[in-house]
Amino acid sequence: MFGLPTDWELDVPERYFTLEDYEGGTARWCPGCGDLAVLTAVQRICRDEQLPPEKTVCVSGIGCSSRFPHYMKTYGFHGLHGRPLPVACGIKSRRPDLHVFVATGDGDCCSIGAGHWVHAVRYNMNMVVMLFDNAVYGLTKNQTSPTSPIGLSTNTHPKGAWLPPINPAATTLGFANVSFVAQTVDWHAAHLYSVLRAAYHHRGFSFVRILQRCPTYTAGVFDELQKDPSRLLLLTGGDNPELEPDVLRGFPQRQAHDTRDLVAARNLADQDEPLPVGVLFRDPSRPCYEEFTNAGLDLTAADRLKALERELDKFAV
């Protein structure tokens, strides 16, 4: 009733962000594209973590998935093919206070961007990197990608891809200073969300491979995984997120896993039957490069000029 004294009070934050605060332009992906699920998951994470849009930036290269920044009402950088990681690292080095999400594809990251992939993992700068793996070049209309399975018919290989595909998770686990590698699928929304949120909370470079459906060009690649839940192996324990009972029922195959065991993580990453999903490896103790590159960010313009003149004076004759 009104007028009665209460022993509680509602602590309302000065700003509260809803999903609408992160919804940018209308997504122009094909109906049924797995990119839509990833977009929704990231928007939910931003809302649940209450990330200020002006303190959040999405970076991408070229590809269907790389339209991601256009659909987030945050800062964004739609870069060149294969170049999202050096751009993201540059942003993080000068603005370590920003929350950085990177959207890249299996071609963008594992082909033209492979050199940057290696070194970005080694730099271990604090960001979430989402590899949208649909096993094809979709934006340029159906060419073989580095993750296309043998036998997949494309415009570049009409009789089927010849070479064994790259395994992005296993490959990343072989790079120096790797600190977080996870694997998930776009059609399990709750698992996708929980893994990406775990990646956000990790200190360092969080690499998440997302098996992502392309209904236009690779509609059948992940059909068996979708139809038969027993072909997915849910990783539990360690730093894997805890899932609700109704979500767990969707994974009849489960395995406890020590996420600090790099050898075990590599063995799991090489496994196809059943395909492991969850956090494969996490080591938050690895050094982060932005802790070195942020030196001097607090200096004023006058202080920087003095420091420059002091260095130049060493060469005076």
One-letter-per-residue 3-state SS of 30-66: CCCCCHHHHHHHHHHHHHHCCCCHHHEEEEECCCCHH
Determine the angle formed by the axes of helices 189-201 and 35-48, rounding to 10 degrees: 50
CB within 8 Å of 162: residues ≥ 6 apart: 150
Tens-place pLDDT, residues 162-188: 999 999 999 999 999 999 999 999 999
pLDDT at 5 over 70: no
User: How many helices (H) and strands (E) in the chain?
Assistant: 11, 9
DSSP three-state, residue 237: coil
d(CA 281, CA 126) in angstroms, rounded, equals: 16
Tokens 């294969």 -> residue: 82
**Torsion on CA atoms 197, 198, 200, 201, rounded to nearest 10:** 120
C-beta separation of 40 from 31 below 8 A:
no
CB within 8 Å of 64: residues ≥ 6 apart: 29, 33, 35, 105, 132, 134, 138, 139, 214
127-166 burial, b at 16+ Cβ within 10 Å, e below that, comes to: bbbbbbbbbbbbbeebbbbbbbeeebebeebeeebeeebb
94, part of any domain:
yes
pLDDT at 308 over 60: yes
213, part of any domain:
yes
Determine the Cα angle at 37 with ends 51 and 193, to 5°: 55
pLDDT band for 75, please (50, 70, 90 cuts). very high
Structural element, H or E, at residue 245: helix 245-248
Q: Give the distance from CA 300 to its chain's centroid.
A: 34
Q: Which domain holds residue 188?
A: 19-288
2, part of any domain:
no
d(CA 179, CA 122) in angstroms, rounded, equals: 9
219, part of any domain:
yes
76, part of any domain:
yes
Residue among 163, 214, 161, 207 nearest 186 (CA): 214
The sheet carrying 205-211 orders its strands as 75-78, 56-60, 99-105, 127-133, 205-211, 180-185, 275-282, 232-236, 253-256
d(CA 50, CA 38) in angstroms, rounded, equals: 18
Tokens 């491979």 -> residue: 209
Phi, psi of 148 (to 5 degrees): -65, 135
Q: Provide the 10 A C-beta neighbour count for residue 298.
A: 7
pLDDT at 151 over 80: yes
CA distances from 231 to 69, 152, 203, 224 (A): 33, 20, 31, 8
311, part of any domain:
no
Q: Provide the 10 A C-beta neighbour count for residue 35.
A: 28
23, part of any domain:
yes
Tens-place pLDDT, residues 106-115: 999 999 999 9
Average pLDDT over residues 235-262: 96
Residue 10: per-residue pLDDT: 66
314, part of any domain:
no
pLDDT band for 1, please (50, 70, 90 cuts). very low
Please state the domain count of the chain.
Answer: 1
pLDDT at 14 over 70: yes
Residue 304: per-residue pLDDT: 85
Q: Which two tokens stand for residue 32?
A: 């049924």
pLDDT band for 7, please (50, 70, 90 cuts). low
The 8-class DSSP code of residue 23 comes to B
Kindly report the CATH number assigned to the domain that includes residue 190: 3.40.50.970
